[in-house]
């Protein structure tokens, strides 16, 4: 026989179990609804990105993307021999806008070949099924450019209208459109990484994905023939893998091996990827800071495939070894004339603002400066808040995994900035797109700190506002800046 007290106790336990099950069910339903909403928004972002990419590809005339003639020649030479191109013998003798011989040459010959492989495959297929679709020569430079560069095309184009200008170059357009799809892994990685540091609502991932997808310069660069698209996709996966190494102990070895493969592929895609390499080693240390013995195993898993891929490429092709020697001795040789405080002061504004957010053509087509400065100002405030919050939360044990990821992102952003500044000591090129391998840290850290002080109910609204602002910025840049510059 049960006593009355025992009966009440059992009834109380049953009620507790019942309420717990109801709460778990409701919580599971809410999480499912939230995940479904995230997926819907993410798909919409991806669809809008693809639509904008098509418009950028069409509305930007052939060769009116930075260095596209050289990149295209690299692709054609790679598709012809399936080997890296040979050293170009043409030297620059004048400024770009006046040097027809140089601007029509493959002056990007010293870059690694893998970044151009997707374009080369498409080029080869088109060469077989529709050879007339591929341009055979670079048009002449416009004589008007040295006068008023912001009002004229770099090259002379036939006066045919928007669509007919592609009549004998639609193969180039196809390559542009297909390469733009490589922006999708970057967008997905931004969402996934944002969700890892915002597990409660996940809307930080939505904000980061929208910021990346609708950054006008990102869309524009992805719709031109170049090696940046694949390189940026690999770099985004490097950051995502580094973050997963902090959250998944059971799969740490597998993620370390994947990290090594990605680093190896990135190193033979584009030279600017080199500043990503420390991320792999820092991820190893942060994954288990108190167990140095595990570092050796993980470091071997990271370095082995990276060195094998990198070494195999340079051992297999003598053209690659010549290019590597040229990179070390010439392309990256410090110019003493650039070792001045004045030059260093001139780098940040174009690098972080003008040429980062929206500058089209050969950097000769730009929206009103207030647009990029407003976007940069908003991002700067957000990143400062992130820095302050990271200092506050650094020693909170319950946020250990999250803070490791945030630390990785800060290091990645710093390495990218230092790497590009170092490059500008060899050649004056403060191009914002050179920072795009570290675009994920830029996106996440611009909002993570704000997310720590926002009421939870406001996160959805703020995320939608961020995505909407960047989308409107992108549409404005496309319709009212880029299109009028080329199609009057």
Per-residue pLDDT averaged across 407-435, rounded?
Answer: 95
Question: What is the reported pLDDT for 91?
Answer: 83
Predicted structure pTM score: 0.91
Encode pLDDT of 50-97 as tens digits. Answer: 999 999 999 999 999 999 999 999 999 999 999 999 998 888 777 777
Encode pLDDT of 201-210 as tens digits. Answer: 779 999 999 9
- Length of the chain measured in residues: 488
CB 207 within 8 A of CB 442: no
Encode pLDDT of 308-336 as tens digits. Answer: 999 999 999 999 999 999 999 998 999 99
| 338 or 290: which leads in pLDDT | 338
CA 213, distance to chain mean position in Å, is: 10
Is the per-residue pLDDT at 456 higher than 80?
yes
Is the per-residue pLDDT at 282 higher than 80?
yes
Is the per-residue pLDDT at 15 higher than 70?
no
56's CB contacts (< 8 A; 6+ apart) are: 180, 219, 220, 223, 478, 482
User: 459-477 and 203-213 helices cross at what angle (nearest 10)?
Assistant: 10
Encoding tokens for residue 471?
């989308």
| pLDDT more than 90, % of the chain | 69
Question: Residue 402 — pLDDT band, cuts 50, 70, 90?
Answer: confident
Largest CA distance in the chain: 104
Encoding tokens for residue 448?
């993570």
Question: What is the reported pLDDT for 5?
Answer: 59
Is the per-residue pLDDT at 137 higher than 60?
yes
Closest CA to 242 of 291, 301, 287: 287
CB 197 within 8 A of CB 405: yes
Question: What is the reported pLDDT for 421?
Answer: 96
Question: What is the reported pLDDT for 190?
Answer: 97
The Cβ of residue 285 has, within 10 Å, a number of other Cβ atoms equal to 14
Question: What is the reported pLDDT for 106?
Answer: 92
CB 90 within 8 A of CB 102: yes
Closest CA to 266 of 310, 213, 210: 310
| pLDDT more than 70, % of the chain | 90
The Cβ of residue 197 has, within 10 Å, a number of other Cβ atoms equal to 25
Burial 43-72 (b: 16+ CB within 10 A, else e): eebbebbbebbebbbbbbbbbbbbbbbbbb
Half-sphere CA count of 343, side-chain side, radius 13 A: 16
Encoding tokens for residue 405?
């990821």
Whether the CA torsion 152, 157, 160, 164 is positive or negative: it is negative
Encode pLDDT of 263-274 as tens digits. Answer: 999 999 999 999
Question: What is the reported pLDDT for 468?
Answer: 96
Closest CA to 276 of 223, 313, 239: 239
Closest CA to 446 of 235, 212, 192: 212
Closest CA to 245 of 255, 237, 257: 255
| All structural domains of the chain with their residue ranges | 39-56+182-486, 64-179
Phi, psi of 269 (to 5 degrees): -105, -45
Reduced to 3 states (helix: H, G, I; strand: E, B; else coil), residue 374 is helix
Residue in the block written with tokens 């997963």: 244
Per-residue pLDDT averaged across 150-159, rounded?
Answer: 73
| 151 or 206: which leads in pLDDT | 206
Q: How far apart are CA 481 and CA 368, in angstroms?
A: 9
């Amino acid at each position: 026989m049960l006593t009355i007290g025992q009966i009440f106790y059992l009834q109380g336990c049953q009620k507790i179990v019942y309420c717990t099950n109801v709460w778990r069910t409701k919580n599971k339903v809410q999480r499912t609804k939230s995940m479904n909403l995230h997926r819907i928004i993410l798909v919409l972002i991806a669809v809008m990105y693809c639509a904008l990419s098509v418009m950028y590809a069409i509305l930007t005339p052939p060769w009116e993307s930075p260095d596209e003639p050289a990149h295209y020649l690299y692709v054609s030479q790679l598709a012809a021999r399936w080997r890296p191109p040979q050293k170009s013998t043409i030297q620059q003798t004048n400024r770009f806008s006046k040097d027809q011989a140089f601007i029509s040459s493959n002056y990007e010959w010293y870059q690694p070949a893998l970044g151009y492989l997707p374009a080369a495959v498409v080029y080869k297929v088109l060469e077989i099924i529709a050879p007339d679709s591929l341009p055979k020569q670079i048009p002449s430079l416009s004589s008007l450019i040295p006068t008023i560069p912001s009002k004229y095309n770099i090259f002379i184009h036939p006066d045919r209208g928007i669509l007919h200008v592609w009549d004998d170059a639609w193969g180039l357009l196809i390559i542009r459109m297909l390469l733009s799809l490589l922006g999708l892994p970057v967008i997905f990685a931004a969402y996934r990484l944002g969700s890892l540091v915002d597990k409660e609502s996940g809307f930080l991932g939505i904000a980061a994905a929208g910021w990346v997808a609708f950054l006008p310069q990102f869309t524009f660069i992805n719709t031109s023939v170049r090696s940046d698209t694949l390189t940026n996709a690999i770099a985004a996966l490097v950051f995502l893998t580094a973050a997963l190494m902090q959250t998944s102990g059971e799969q740490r070895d597998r993620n370390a091996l994947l990290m090594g493969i990605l680093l190896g592929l990135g190193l033979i895609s584009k030279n600017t990827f080199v500043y990503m390499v420390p991320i792999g080693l820092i991820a190893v240390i942060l994954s288990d800071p108190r167990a140095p013995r595990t570092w050796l195993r993980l470091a071997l898993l990271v370095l082995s495939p990276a060195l094998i891929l990198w070494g195999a490429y340079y051992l297999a092709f003598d053209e690659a070894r010549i290019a590597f020697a040229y990179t070390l001795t010439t392309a990256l040789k410090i110019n003493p004339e650039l070792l001045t405080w004045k030059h260093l002061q001139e780098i940040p504004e174009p690098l972080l603002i003008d040429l980062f957010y929206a500058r089209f053509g050969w950097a000769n087509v730009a929206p009103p400066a207030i647009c990029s400065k407003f976007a940069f100002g908003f991002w700067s405030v957000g990143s400062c808040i992130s820095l302050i919050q990271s200092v506050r939360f650094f020693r909170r044990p319950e946020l250990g995994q999250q803070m490791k990821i945030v630390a990785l992102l800060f290091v990645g952003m710093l390495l990218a900035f230092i790497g590009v500044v170092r490059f500008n000591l060899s050649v004056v090129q403060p191009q914002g797109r050179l920072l795009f391998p570290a675009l994920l840290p830029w996106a996440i850290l611009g909002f993570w700190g704000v997310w720590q002080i926002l009421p939870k109910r406001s996160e959805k609204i703020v995320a939608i506002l961020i995505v909407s602002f960047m989308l409107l910025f992108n549409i404005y840049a496309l319709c009212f800046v880029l299109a009028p510059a080329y199609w009057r």
